[in-house]
Structure 1
Amino acid sequence: MPLPFLTADRAFDEPGEDLALPFDDRDRWRRPYRPGPWRVGAAALLLLLASYLLFAAVIIVAAGNASGGGACLVLAVVVIACALRLLRMGTWVSASGLRLVRFFTTNTTPWTYVMFVRTVQQPVRWLGLPRTVQGQALVLQRGGHSGEEPTPLLTTHSADFLGRSEAFDRAADAVEVWADEYRQRA
């Protein structure tokens, strides 16, 4: 069963690709990078936990306790939903704007409100935890809001790019190219 949210477009992985935006359908939301091993590993562990919960639900129902089995089933569905949401997290681009998908929220910024997207050296969160380390971040500055801090879109120490600096550089370049092209059109 294909899972389109797990695969990035192959054009971003080809070295020497001259086309900046090699897509036929630019209106479709796409993530210009693959999910990192930390993110995929955490989702795999959550799905493993869900399989144990589903097996426990079957055993509990077979033992005659339908309410306990139902509770295990509901908990398994919540864990599966969390794993899928974890895999959907990241920065997505399309012709209509830039979308930052977090675990509980999704923020979409139309290209007309994007002032700049650039890579900066700054303290970044390590795997999304409160601990910060020195790294690089691709930041988004929205227009129209005076004094608003730039929003980090990608960081070198996130679950997608920890230990994968080349992948971060390719993804940051791809998002910057999308921003440059569509801000000029807007």
Structure 2
Amino acid sequence: MPLPFLTADRAFEAADDVALPFDDHDRWRRPYRPGPWRVAVAALSLLLASYVLFAAVIIALTGTVTEGGVVFGTALLVITCALRLLRVGVWVSARGLRHVGFFVTRTAPWEQIVTVRTVQQPVRWLGLPRTVQGQALVLVRRDRAADGVPPLLTTHNADFLARGEAFDRAADTVEAWAAENGRG
């Protein structure tokens, strides 16, 4: 069973000279693969969920169905969190740019985007409060000030930590989508 939220569009890696190698530009796509940190945390969460599901069956058979249901609900919550973690990132289509966070998703139509560019700045390390010097892909919109807007991608987030070339490729691809759609 294909998992579209996990698949990186391999055409981006196969066709380095073509910025937008797809025929269907209206479909939302992530222009890079999820990083190893993100995938490892999701895999460990799903492993934990399998144990919790097994415990839910045992509790339902030996205890009460209500207790088993609570544990089953906990397993479903862990599975939902793991799948949401895999969807976090930047998605692009002909309609705009979508920044998917764990709790919030923001979509910006290309008409509202002034520029998408890579800048040197302090970035958060794996989303923690600690900041280090790195690169960030930032989005500047017409209707909002640039201050206080979180970067789209950084060299030290869960997708690109210790993967500088992957960050450069992803940033170039997002910038190419912006340029192709007449912005940035």
Question: TM range, normalised to the smaller chain?
Answer: over 0.9
Structure 1 CA distance for aligned equivalents of residues 149 and 60 of structure 2: 51
CA shift, 1:133, in A, is 0.7
State which drifts further: 57-66 or 161-170: 57-66
**Residue 129 in 1 paired to residue 124 in 2?**
no
CA shift, 1:151, in A, is 3.5
CA shift, 1:29, in A, is 0.1
> In the TM superposition, what whole-angstrom CA distance separates every residue of 1:58-115 from its partner, at most 9, and x where no partner exists?
1101103211100000000000000000000000000000000000010000000001
CA shift, 1:149, in A, is 4.1
Per the alignment, residue 79 of structure 2 pairs with 80
Q: Following superposition of structure 1 onto structure 2, how do residues 1-186 of structure 1 map, counting pairs within 5 Å? A: 1-14=1-14, 17-146=16-145, 148-184=147-183
State which drifts further: 63-72 or 102-111: 63-72
CA shift, 1:31, in A, is 0.2
> 1:91–1:76: structure 2 CA closer, same or farther, 3 Å change rule?
same
> 1:133–1:148: structure 2 CA closer, same or farther, 3 Å change rule?
closer
Superposition CA RMSD, Å: 1.2
- Determine helix, strand or coil for the equivalent of 1:60: helix
CA shift, 1:55, in A, is 0.5
Q: Check the 8 A contact 1:141/1:149 in 2, yes or no.
A: no
Q: Check the 8 A contact 2:140/2:146 in 1, yes or no.
A: no
Structure 1 CA distance for aligned equivalents of residues 12 and 67 of structure 2: 47
CA shift, 1:183, in A, is 2.6
> 1:2–1:97: structure 2 CA closer, same or farther, 3 Å change rule?
same
Q: Check the 8 A contact 1:142/1:150 in 2, yes or no.
A: no
> In the TM superposition, what whole-angstrom CA distance separates every residue of 1:33-67 from its partner, at most 9, and x where no partner exists?
00000000000011011011101001101103211
Q: Check the 8 A contact 1:141/1:151 in 2, yes or no.
A: no
Q: Which runs of 5+ in 2 are unaligned?
A: none
Structure 1 stretches of at least 4 aligned residues deviating more than 6 Å after TM superposition = none
Q: Check the 8 A contact 1:90/1:102 in 2, yes or no.
A: yes
- Quick one: which amino acid aligns to residue 3 of structure 1? L
- Determine helix, strand or coil for the equivalent of 1:183: coil
Q: Give the share of equivalent positions with the same residue, in percent.
A: 69
Structure 1 CA distance for aligned equivalents of residues 22 and 67 of structure 2: 49
TM-score by length of 2: 0.96
